[in-house]
């Protein structure tokens, strides 16, 4: 297929057919800095690829800005932004790819459907406050928050376009006398002292965005950016038309002095108390059409830039207000369910980023009370069961040929072949340290719920023994024993089969040890980090006797996440930020420690290991494979979710569950998505599970659980059939 040609002349006349490994399908938007295309990865994932204009590609200053944009976008990739999949700032035409978000911008929504309702405004403000909180926590100031940089996705607003953002620990690129931003949404300090712009400027912009969403105009309106700049610095904002319920909060956001504005956390607290009717139901925008046309060129690429360029202030920004016909008596209720057009939009990744496309069905909470067969392949017919509907996400383990599951107030056993309930047993609803587990041939139903222990027969669910024990802070099951860490730091080993104590003493080098155990490993591990984070002491304990098998003092703040082939695998964590910075393999027999730095720090990382490869799941949806033998990162995949469970690795695939109840399979060798199940959110889709349970593997079967209360099984060897 020959490259498509633009309608205009000049260096943009011929557009690329592909960028990097991504095939460009159609133009989504064009602006002053570049063009955004809908693209497909090799595996078929929808992406938004931003390609800069040819005339800027040879400008060293612009390339520097683009490198900064990529770095900032990677830094803040998470629940409230568009996750970066790939980028090449050094290409002939620099580009960046993010997951595609099928939703309109706030600017498009207001233009087409008029101002939002009060309830929608409240939810929008809460979502933007959450987004700014996370962006600022990452050390980034956006500096150009405006309606065209807010995408209305199904799971809430996403803040995009970090083209002029500034990490708080980097040098400011703006030179004296040169302003960057969009005047109607810039804070006073951006005009008065650009080098002192901080997070409070984004809060001011949030206030301006809210006025636009409520009225279709800004709090400071004029056809001239010079007049707008004067109004922002000197005049009071015009809040006429803003609902009284949120007007005081908006006014506080628009305070002239940064220190007088609320923080994002304060905004969220205030919004919760605004009205008793406040809820967290999301605004569901019209989805962008799936039937996008064959790849089309971006017409009119010389359109007015949406941001004031760094060269000078006088260029007029594109208008953000609604079209006249959109504001004349348009019914607010018609804004839901509409399909957003794919016309030229604001650049700045105005259509970038988002969720993986979901298969039809699921997520309606309509699973039958028992098992319903679901065919996945001839080798194994999958099933789905909901034995404890309305109790949240079950937490399950395997043992004695059964699935042992628990929800608040109940534990139960399922037949792994068809999902039939074999027995149920009531328990307390207190906090628990994990799912029911089989240890010593019996089921421990509710570890961590208090000083009362009981053990159940795995075949019938009947109580085999009960014990009251002294109060404890931590509990772990390993090698047929329960390890109870007392409030005084003394550890007691309890025989799981009888409930009798076998030993009790302190573990050298650990004031209050909390034990970690790993499947297939008979030992229990305690890790304690020094007060300054400079070192971690790891001790392996024989659970039968409490004897120390090996003890090591390792450099840095380390968290064990797996064992394999006589070695322990740990994450090196930044003691201040909590981000994982390296993977460490320690081999006790040889006392060798190998450290492999991560290319990009991973937030809230959780890992698993298979052979010599570590698989790491980070907040924001980044799944990474690291080979400790070759000291190389094998691959990285942005799976398009806000967070994922601890990954579980099989022979061929890595499995992860998501907050909406999906099970994902990723090719362990290539790092490509191989399949996913339907979402299973249930009736309370506004609630996000606090804990994501990892999948369970048994031969060619994969078992998982979901927020709708279901437990389900699929064929792990055939993810494409899910």
Spatial distance between the Cα atoms of 453 and 447, rounded to a whole number of angstroms? 8
Residue 544 C-alpha from the chain's centroid? 40
Closest CA to 172 of 91, 68, 258, 273: 68
Extract the tokens encoding 577.
């930020």
651 is a catalytic site residue: no
Q: How far lies 262's CA from each of 195, 203, 297, 354, 680, in Å?
A: 21, 8, 44, 29, 37
Catalytic residue among 6, 86, 134, 144: 144
Closest CA to 433 of 362, 484, 388: 484
DSSP-derived letter for residue 103 is S
Spatial distance between the Cα atoms of 377 and 701, rounded to a whole number of angstroms? 11
CB-based contact 620:572 (threshold 8 Å): no
Answer left, alpha or beta for residue 544, where phi above 0 means left and psi between -120 and 50 means alpha.
Answer: alpha
Which residues neighbour 262 within 8 Å (Cβ) at sequence distance 6 or greater?
203, 249, 252, 253, 270
Extract the tokens encoding 490.
């003394």
Which is it for strands 701-705 and 711-715: parallel, antiparallel or unpaired? antiparallel
CB-based contact 107:147 (threshold 8 Å): yes
CB-based contact 44:357 (threshold 8 Å): no
38 pairs with which residues across the strands? 26, 48
Write down how long the chain is.
Answer: 722
CB-based contact 657:663 (threshold 8 Å): yes
Extract the tokens encoding 53.
């204009």
Supply φ then ψ for residue 185, to 5 degrees.
Answer: -120, 15
- CA-angle at 382, arms to 663 and 437, nearest 5°: 70
Element (H, E) at 38: strand 34-40
Residue 98 C-alpha from the chain's centroid? 14
CA atoms within 13 A on the CB side of 13: 4
Spatial distance between the Cα atoms of 576 and 385, rounded to a whole number of angstroms? 43
CB-based contact 715:379 (threshold 8 Å): yes
Burial of 632-662, coded b for 16+ CB within 10 Å and e otherwise, reads ebbbbbbbbbbbbbbbbbbeebbbbbbbbbb
Spatial distance between the Cα atoms of 386 and 371, rounded to a whole number of angstroms? 7
3-state SS of 43-95? CCCEEEEEEECHHHHCCHHHHHHHHHHHHHHHHHCCCCECCEEEEECCCCCCE
CB-based contact 543:501 (threshold 8 Å): no
CB-based contact 493:481 (threshold 8 Å): yes
617 pairs with which residues across the strands? 606, 623
The H-assigned helical ranges of 152-263 are: 188-192, 199-215, 225-234, 247-253
Spatial distance between the Cα atoms of 198 and 210, rounded to a whole number of angstroms? 20
Which residues neighbour 648 within 8 Å (Cβ) at sequence distance 6 or greater?
608, 654, 655, 656, 694, 695, 696, 697
Spatial distance between the Cα atoms of 589 and 566, rounded to a whole number of angstroms? 8
Spatial distance between the Cα atoms of 185 and 208, rounded to a whole number of angstroms? 6
Catalytic residues: 144
């Amino acid at each position: 297929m020959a490259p498509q040609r633009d309608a205009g002349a000049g260096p943009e006349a011929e557009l690329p057919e592909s960028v990097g490994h991504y095939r460009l399908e159609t133009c989504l938007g064009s602006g002053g800095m570049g063009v955004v295309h809908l693209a497909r990865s090799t595996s078929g994932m929808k992406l938004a690829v931003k390609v800069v204009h040819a005339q800027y590609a040879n400008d060293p200053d612009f390339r520097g800005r683009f490198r900064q944009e990529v770095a900032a976008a990677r830094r803040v990739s998470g629940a409230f932004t568009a996750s970066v999949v790939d980028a090449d700032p050094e290409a002939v035409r620099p580009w960046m790819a993010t997951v595609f978000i099928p939703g309109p911008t706030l600017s498009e929504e207001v233009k087409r459907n008029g101002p939002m309702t009060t309830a929608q405004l409240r939810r929008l403000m809460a979502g933007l406050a959450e987004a700014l909180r996370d962006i600022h926590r990452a050390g980034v100031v956006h500096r150009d928050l405006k309606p065209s940089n807010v995408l209305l996705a199904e799971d809430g607003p996403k803040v995009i376009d970090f083209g002029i953002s500034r990490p708080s620990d980097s040098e400011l690129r703006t030179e004296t006398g040169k302003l960057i931003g969009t005047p109607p949404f810039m804070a006073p300090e951006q005009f008065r002292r650009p080098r002192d712009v901080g997070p409070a400027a984004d809060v001011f912009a949030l206030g301006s965005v809210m006025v636009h969403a409520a009225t279709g105009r800004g709090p400071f309106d004029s056809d001239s950016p010079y007049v707008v700049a004067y109004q922002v610095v000197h005049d009071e904002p015009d809040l006429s038309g803003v609902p009284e319920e949120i007007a005081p909060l908006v006014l506080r956001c628009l305070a002239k002095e940064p220190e007088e504005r609320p923080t994002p956390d304060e905004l969220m607290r205030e919004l919760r108390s605004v009205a008793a009717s406040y809820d967290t139901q999301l605004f569901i925008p019209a989805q962008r059409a799936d039937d996008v046309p064959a790849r089309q060129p971006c017409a009119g690429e010389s359109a007015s830039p949406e941001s004031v360029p760094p060269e000078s202030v006088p260029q007029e920004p594109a208008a953000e207000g609604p079209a006249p016909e959109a504001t004349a008596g348009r019914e607010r209720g018609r804004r839901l369910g509409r399909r957003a057009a794919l016309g030229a939009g604001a650049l700045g990744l105005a259509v970038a980023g988002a969720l993986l496309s979901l298969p039809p069905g699921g997520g309606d909470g309509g699973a039958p009370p028992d098992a319903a067969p679901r065919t996945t392949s001839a080798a194994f017919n999958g099933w789905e069961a909901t034995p404890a509907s309305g109790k949240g996400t079950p937490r399950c383990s395997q043992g004695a040929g059964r699935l042992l599951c628990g929800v608040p107030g109940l534990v139960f056993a399922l037949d792994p072949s068809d999902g039939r309930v074999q027995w149920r047993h009531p328990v307390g609803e207190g906090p628990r340290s994990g799912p029911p587990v089989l240890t010593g041939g019996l089921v421990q139903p509710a570890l961590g719920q208090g000083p009362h222990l009981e053990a159940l027969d795995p075949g019938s669910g009947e109580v085999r023994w009960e014990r009251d024990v002294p109060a404890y802070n931590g509990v772990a099951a390993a090698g047929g024993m329960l390890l109870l860490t007392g409030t005084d730091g003394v550890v007691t080993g309890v025989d799981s089969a009888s409930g009798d104590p076998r030993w009790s003493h302190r573990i050298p080098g650990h004031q209050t040890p909390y034990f970690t155990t790993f499947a297939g490993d008979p030992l229990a591990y305690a890790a304690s980090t020094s007060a300054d984070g400079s070192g971690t002491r790891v001790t392996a304990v024989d659970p039968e006797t409490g004897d120390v098998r090996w003890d090591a003092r390792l450099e840095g703040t380390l968290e064990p996440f797996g064992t394999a082939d006589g070695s322990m695998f740990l994450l090196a964590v930044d003691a201040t930020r909590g981000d994982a910075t390296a993977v460490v393999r320690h081999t006790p027999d040889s006392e060798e420690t190998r450290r492999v730095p991560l290319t990009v720090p991973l937030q809230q990382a959780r890992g698993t290991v298979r052979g010599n490869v570590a698989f790491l799941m980070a907040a924001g949806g980044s799944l990474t494979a690291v080979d400790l033998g070759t000291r190389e990162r094998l691959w990285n995949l942005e799976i398009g979710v806000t967070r994922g469970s601890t990954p579980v690795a099989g022979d061929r695939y890595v499995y992860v569950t998501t907050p909406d109840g999906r099970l994902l399979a990723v090719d362990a060798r290539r790092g490509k998505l191989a399949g996913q199940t339907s979402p299973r959110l249930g009736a309370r889709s506004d609630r996000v599970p606090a804990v994501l349970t990892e999948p369970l593997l048994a031969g060619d079967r994969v078992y998982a659980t979901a927020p709708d209360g279901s437990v389900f099984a699929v064929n792990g060897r055939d993810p494409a059939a899910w």
